[in-house]
Structure 1
């Protein structure tokens, strides 16, 4: 009797605990405060400088047709203290990019720029300079990309996050597992909003999905690969293979729809992996849309090249093969009722925490290496100034 009463009393508490734990897990699907904490970065030895003096120095240097050193632009970025100064720094980053020293922009300067943009509410400036990398020459490392993508995701700006993931894809920077997961999370959340994508956007999203999911040997990774390859295949059959690989890190060989079907075939033989039913429906819709194009012509009126015509003629074969593979997946119980968004969210909760410790440790080592390199440059700068002073005195 007492046990029964105790069980009834504890039942609401257990239910509440489960709800609390679920909410904590749902909230903890992105980077932790320890990952985004700027303490490691801000504990570096500071080289306090007057921005006005640095700006004057750079202006005079450029007027005299001399190059500004990487240390000067680094000091300018490191001493930013407001959003207005961030706006000013964008101009000097542009000037440095178009100077003879443009190849010597330091990695820590790029990281510092992104940190200051996040700190002073100028995230749009960070995104703009990254999207216009030719004009600003900013190529962040994976950790810096993670901080910026996470910031967009936490503000539910999934379109902005996907713009950043596109930059990661173009730089082929999916080496970190954390970057792969954050990218897949941003992409799946954005696609869940059912956006109207142009062919150009489908190509970018498709390439990002495919490359981000390429190293994930799980249901989320294979589903992302399948959808990504199908989206690229749609662009290939409507605009031709040259429209696919132009300015993209993709192979030049035709047959992206065939590669999508190869993913389905591989899952049939892959243990403990399923494909999202929603993704399969999306692929089927792509094939139906392609089939509906009259006479096998592309969306534009421009004629396709011979290799593209041959690929277009394979469409009926692809459609039949898709139906066969889908039936096989059903018979093998290889279809997951969850959406790509749900699969990636589950993967994020399971995996992201385990990635963080390694990333943070590596970041601490990287910051130390940056500091060592910075001190060496300062020492070299000091020695050069002393040498120049001695030469001037000897001439006098």
Structure 2
């Protein structure tokens, strides 16, 4: 593929006010490079060495700090390393320090996954409670954009589902990308003569409907929101209200009557909806039976809207048209995201430098304490041996073995460098920054 072919494949054109307007389909390379200042850092070791220390900590039941995990993630430089990292993330998640995985570590890990193997990322996202990978909105936008550029609609919809479940849809850049992914997915999966794709998975249908409903609400777009409500109403009628919010869990209201609320909104609103939205609303009502009260009401509301000229065939009101309209503002929204993240990244770098300095101080204190304790133990052993030689109790010459389980972990002779509790680091950090102490509840 030539340079110009690749360039213009990321651009399409939409009519606006009688002229052709150029609109980007994807995020810029600058947006994709967000977080590189966090991910790129000098490493004095490689991943096998770091993992060896982590394994020794696991064997000896020493605490693994979030900074040790951060170094492990930073040293990933191949798909094999990435596959092996899942084990350590899982072990860390269920350790005493499992609640302290740093946000820049998550950014670095996501970048590594996008570079080497996105399937690992999807597995971590779908099992986020076991790996502790909870990206923010900007990080999610990068992942979604990655799947869009690969023309992987299924992967893009799966990412959208995770964003929906984590309630990460209130971002303008996300609105443009999510509607574009759904419009492409819709077009690719809807059969000729139908208005709704033939969903085989109720959970997938619920997630897509939830995204439409939430994004439509954020945009105050009645067409998109009613499309989502209609699909949710169909699921409610066929599978019950629990299939919407509980089986599996989803951040949606457990109050029944999604289709009724959509109709009530259309009855009291003067907003124009698309022909696409009206057809989907009618389709979802027809699934409840040709003689159902809901279908009768839908037809009455639809006829009323048409009489008031509130149903339009304007392409800009459709799902694809709304996506293209948002994409026309993508560059501006990108700029806002990048400006916001730059400040966040600076704060992260500053915090990370402070934490590393605190770690060095604690390790130095551990070393001094170990040296003092070992010297005292050596003196005690010499005094014991002298007493045995003077009194002749040779059967007591051999010192008793010390139970290491009762020792403080960093005073053990087999201590692994770097092992410490994140709460100790956090307390020092609060003292340095003068931040208010908040309760930390470990379950």
- Range into which the TM-score falls when normalised by the shorter chain: 0.7 to 0.9
Equivalence for 1:377: 355
Whether 1:367 and 2:345 are equivalent positions in the alignment is yes
- Specify the alignment match of 1:296 in structure 2: none
**1:31 alignment partner, SS class:** coil
Aligned length: 347
Partner of 1:288: 286
What is the root-mean-square deviation of aligned Cα atoms in Å?
2.2
Change (3 A) 1:92 1:340: farther
Unaligned stretches of 5+ residues in structure 2: 1-10, 15-19, 191-196, 376-443
d(CA) in 2 for partners of 1:106 and 1:249?
25
Map of 1:297 onto structure 2? none
Partner of 2:82: 86
Query: Which of 246, 250, 253 lines up with 2:252 in the alignment?
Result: 250
SS at match of 2:170: coil
CA distance in 2: counterparts of 1:206 and 1:137, whole angstroms: 27
The reply on whether 1:102 has 2:78 as its aligned counterpart is no
Secondary structure of the 1:73 match is helix
SS of 1:22's equivalent in the other structure is strand
Matching residue of 2:213:
210
- Residues 177-216 of structure 1: pairs in structure 2 closer than 5 A: 177-193=172-188, 194=190, 195-197=197-199, 198-216=201-219
- The offset of 1:85, in angstroms, is 1.5
Please give the alpha-carbon distance, in whole angstroms, between the structure 2 residues aligned to 1:387 and 1:64: 21
Using structure 1 for the length normalisation, give the TM-score: 0.82
Deviation at 1:59, TM superposition (A): 0.5
Contact map agreement 2:175 2:215 (CA 8 A) in 1: yes
What's the offset of the Cα at 1:226? 0.8
**CA distance, structure 2, for counterparts of residue 236 and residue 383 of structure 1:** 58
How far apart in 2 are the matches of 1:201 and 1:331? 35
> More displaced, 334-343 or 221-230?
334-343
Q: Report 1:60-209 matches (<5 A).
A: 60-120=56-116, 122-193=117-188, 194=190, 195-197=197-199, 198-209=201-212
For 1:287 and 1:329, the matched residues in 2 are separated by 16
Closer, same or farther: CA 148–387 of 1 in aligned 2, 3 Å: same
2:55 aligned counterpart, secondary structure: helix
Alignment of 1:245-324 (within 5 A): 245-246=245-246, 247-265=249-267, 268-270=269-271, 274-292=272-290, 315-316=292-293, 318-324=294-300
CA contact (8 A) 1:225 1:263 kept: no
Question: What SS does structure 2 have at the residue aligned with 1:104?
Answer: coil
Structure 1: unaligned runs, 5 residues or longer: 1-19, 294-314
Q: Which has the larger radius of gyration?
A: 2
Report if the CA contact (8 A) 1:188-1:344 is conserved: no
- The 1:21/1:161 distance shift into structure 2, 3 A limit, reads closer
1:59 corresponds to: 55
1:265/1:325 contact within 8 Å kept: yes
Given that residues 213 and 227 in structure 2 are in contact (C-alpha distance below 8 angstroms), is that contact kept between their aligned partners in structure 1? yes
CA distance in 1, matches of 2:355, 2:364: 14
2:326 corresponds to 1:326: no
